[in-house]
Amino acid sequence: MNLEYADALNQAIRLLSLRHRARAAQLLAPLGLHVGQEALLLELDRTGPRIQAQLSEALGCEPPSVTLMTRKLETSGHIERTPDPTDKRATVVALTDSGKAVAEQIRQLWVTLAEETVRDLPAEMLEQLPGILHTMSTNVNGKPPA
């Protein structure tokens, strides 16, 4: 692969990351949320209560990050953390009623965000896009599958 293509591709990914994140932050601010927290709330809303190790895996970020995120979301009242009765190391994280309500609001905002993002793209690209992005992120995943 040539240098120019690689540079353009990596730069485009970087810029998309920054701007998508910035726009997400704008949309989430009225809910009193910081960007990143929405992923945790949506995950819990999709799957029900999880322990932090599972959240870490699902969100693609490290355990210490999850510790801090859950602590802040607990302070703001959107989640509850209770000790796991079957494993004294683990803590179970669950949505509160407030958390469920805000998860619904996030879903609405995310339609807005996604529509903005793919505006002007051809329809056949829309079909392929999530799969392509998913392929790219698994391609670039440095973690060994063991």
Partner DNA sequence: CAAATAATCTTATGCGCGTAATGAATGATG
Partner DNA sequence: CATCATTCATTACGCGCATAAGATTATTTG
Q: Which residues sit at the interface with a copy of itself, rule CB under 8 A?
A: 1-3, 5-24, 26, 39, 42, 60-61, 107, 110-111, 113-121, 125, 128-130, 132-137, 139-142
Residue 14 CB coordination number (10 Å): 10
- Between 43 and 79, name the residue whose CB sits nearer to a copy of itself: 43
Given the complex with DNA, which of 36 and 96 has the nearer CB atom? 36
Which distant-in-sequence residues (6+ apart) come within 8 Å of 41 by Cβ? 33, 73, 78, 79, 95, 99, 102, 103, 106
Under the binding rule (CB under 7 A), the answer on residue 69 touching DNA is yes
Q: Is 65 in the site for DNA (CB under 7 A)?
A: yes
Interaction of residue 138 with DNA, rule CB under 7 A:
no
Can you say how many angstroms the Cα of residue 112 is from the centroid of all Cα atoms in its chain? 16
- Edge to edge, the sheet with strand 50-51 lists 50-51, 91-95, 79-83
Which residues would be at the binding site for DNA (CB under 7 A)?
18, 22, 25, 34-37, 39, 51-53, 56, 59-70, 72, 81, 84, 87-91
